[in-house]
Amino acid sequence: MSDFVLNLHSGWRFIVLLAIAVTFLYFIYAYFTKQTSPKQDKMVAVLFGVALDIQITLGILLLLIVIIDGRFDAGTHLGHLFPMLIAVGVAHVPSAYNRKTGGADRRRLHLIGIAAPIIVIILIIGGLASLDGIGLFTMS
Note the pTM of the prediction, 2 decimals: 0.89
- Which residues, including other chains, have CB under 8 Å from residue 90's CB and lie 6 or more apart? 116, 119, 120, 123
Q: Give pLDDT, residue 140.
A: 62
Rg (alpha carbons) of the chain, rounded to whole number: 16
pLDDT of 41-92, one tens digit each?
999 999 999 999 999 999 999 999 999 998 888 778 888 999 999 999 999 9
pLDDT in the model for residue 137: 67
Question: Could you give the angle at the alpha carbon of 126 between the alpha carbons of 116 and 30, nearest 5°?
Answer: 15
Mean pLDDT over all residues of the chain? 91
Residue 103's region, left for phi above 0, alpha for psi from -120 to 50, else beta, is left
